[in-house]
Amino acid sequence: MKKIWYILILLLLTISPSAHAQSDAVIEQNRAIVDFPNSVTFQLGYASETTITDAVLTYEVQQFGCLDAAANVPVEVTGELLSWEWVMIRSGNPPPGAIMHWHWTLTDANGRETITPVQELTFVDERFDWHTIKSGDISMNWYEGKQVGTILLDAAVEGLDRLENEMGIEMVSDINFYIYGDYDEMRDAVIYIQDWAGGVAFSEYNTILMGVPPAIAEDWGRSTIQHELAHLVIGQYGQSCIGGRRPTWLDEGLAVYAEGEPDAETRNSIADNLKNNGFVPLRSLNGAFPAHGDGVGHAYAQSYSVVNFLFETYGTGKMQELLLALAAGNGYDEALEAVYGFNVDGLEVEWRAAIGADPRTIPPTPTPIVAAAVPTAVAQSIPRHMPTPGAASQPPIIVDTPSPNPQPTSPPASPPSASTGICGLGMVPFMLTGIYAFTRKKKKRG
Ligand SMILES: [Zn+2]
């Protein structure tokens, strides 16, 4: 059982009397005590001669989602020190680097209001001494391994260059990486995370937490950071507040493409499936990928091949159009039809012909009802064998009324549903790409 007490940020900020004469409340202290990632305790002290009858705390963590996440909490007035605790076990926690603002609205016995000045704090994981380096709009924070930050920042910059200049997919907002020295230390920074996760992407904070032991920074770290950066940037570019989603083959194909030249494992998978007529119907890759076994690697490789075909044949402009058509809420077939003039099956026919595969003989599988509901539209890879809804993906969104404990009583039947919502999904743990990449490396070595 990991018990963490990492941070105590004490902000003894403003001691600020009200700006105007609405009320005579004299504020003596206004602070937020952070026990990251578990809780924030807000405290407001005022002078004893002041009679406060009502108090409302308003706080908000800056996000890049579609929802207004400000919370207004009525706080009981029992004495000269008002106190309220935001217990993050209910809401999930924001990542390190997230910025919170808050203020209090006080009403005195005469109905006059005092609004305290807005305060700000940045969440920090103070267990470690972080180094930070930046390049452009990418920040790399790490603490273990001398070269780790440089290696991974170089990889991220290279990946972003490929995304923007070869793939036509531009980054919209700054992205922050927090690289932990191992997986456990990373997981301890997040309340809700599966014990298999090697990283977690907080898409609404444009922040990725990864566990990267220095020994594997150069190989696993490089490719994984490019892959996950791609998911975040694609998610920014194709952000949809009206429920638009992308098929998994597109998201994963783009992310593998963003890793650069396909590695031997990807090339071998494509070659084997060409020889054995082993490709699966593309439509079956609209939704969740296979959870286990060889199918995982083949699904990534096939997706890469399809995306590579789209770029080679139709260029970046069409890909931009496709991403925007999907963001606009069009279905997968509709969006493809509008941009390329074929649906998913038509794409499969063209792609197979282009790579020299035999025409497919099996009939297309119907699109599962849930396929469009798989939360591929969030910026991240989908942990296919784990439930993304419920606790694991409970968005760190602040609500007026705390939601019931989101811990799921049982994993949902496959595949994950979209109950988390496209804009409400704040964090997605990832590992499969890691496993996949790592497997590939091991195979290469072997
Ligand atoms: Zn992925």
What separation in Å is there between the alpha carbon of 255 and the centre of ligand 1?
A: 6
- Mean pLDDT on 100-117: 94
What separation in Å is there between the alpha carbon of 251 and the centre of ligand 1?
A: 7
Which residues sit opposite 72 in a β-bridge? 58
Do both 139 and 108 map to the same domain? Answer: no
pLDDT band for position 197 (50/70/90)? confident
- Out of 16-20, 177-181, 304-308, 392-396, least confident range: 392-396
Structural domain span for residue 14: 9-122
Do both 251 and 344 map to the same domain? Answer: yes
Q: Which of 91, 122, 153 finishes a domain? A: 122
Res. 19: pLDDT tops 70: no
152-157 CB contacts, 8 Å cutoff, 24+ apart? 152/177, 152/179, 152/212, 152/217, 152/221, 152/222, 152/225, 155/221, 155/222, 155/223, 155/225, 155/226, 156/225, 156/226, 156/229
Res. 137: pLDDT tops 70: yes
What separation in Å is there between the alpha carbon of 381 and the centre of ligand 1?
A: 4
Do both 263 and 396 map to the same domain? Answer: yes
What separation in Å is there between the alpha carbon of 246 and the centre of ligand 1?
A: 13
What separation in Å is there between the alpha carbon of 432 and the centre of ligand 1?
A: 8
Do both 193 and 278 map to the same domain? Answer: yes
pLDDT digit string, tens, across residues 409-437: 222 222 222 222 222 234 566 654 444 34
Which residues sit opposite 6 in a β-bridge? none
- Give the number of domains in the chain: 2
pTM, entire model? 0.75
Do both 194 and 99 map to the same domain? Answer: no
Residues 6+ apart with CB under 8 A from 136: 157, 160
Residues 6+ apart with CB under 8 A from 427: 92, 95, 190, 192, 200, 201, 202, 203, 393, 395, 396
What separation in Å is there between the alpha carbon of 202 and the centre of ligand 1?
A: 14
**Residue 1 included in any domain:** no
pLDDT band for position 388 (50/70/90)? very low
Q: Which of 122, 150, 171 finishes a domain? A: 122
**Residue 48 included in any domain:** yes
What separation in Å is there between the alpha carbon of 204 and the centre of ligand 1?
A: 17
What separation in Å is there between the alpha carbon of 235 and the centre of ligand 1?
A: 12
- Mean pLDDT on 283-303: 87
pLDDT band for position 164 (50/70/90)? very high
What separation in Å is there between the alpha carbon of 4 and the centre of ligand 1?
A: 30
What pLDDT does residue 364 have?
A: 56
CATH of the domain at 208: 1.10.390
Integer Cα distance of 239 and 226 in angstroms: 19
What separation in Å is there between the alpha carbon of 84 and the centre of ligand 1?
A: 39
CATH of the domain at 113: 2.60.40.10
Question: What mean pLDDT is reported for the chain?
Answer: 79
DSSP tag of 273:
H
Q: What residues pack around ion ligand 1 (CB closer than 5 A)? A: 252, 255, 381, 433
Torsion of Cα atoms, 352 then 357 then 358 then 364, to 10°: -40
**Residue 61 included in any domain:** yes
What separation in Å is there between the alpha carbon of 382 and the centre of ligand 1?
A: 7
What separation in Å is there between the alpha carbon of 19 and the centre of ligand 1?
A: 51
Do both 140 and 97 map to the same domain? Answer: no
What pLDDT does residue 196 have?
A: 81
- Give the percent of the chain with pLDDT over 70: 75
What separation in Å is there between the alpha carbon of 354 and the centre of ligand 1?
A: 25
Do both 139 and 231 map to the same domain? Answer: yes
**Residue 254 included in any domain:** yes
More confident residue, 2 or 130: 130
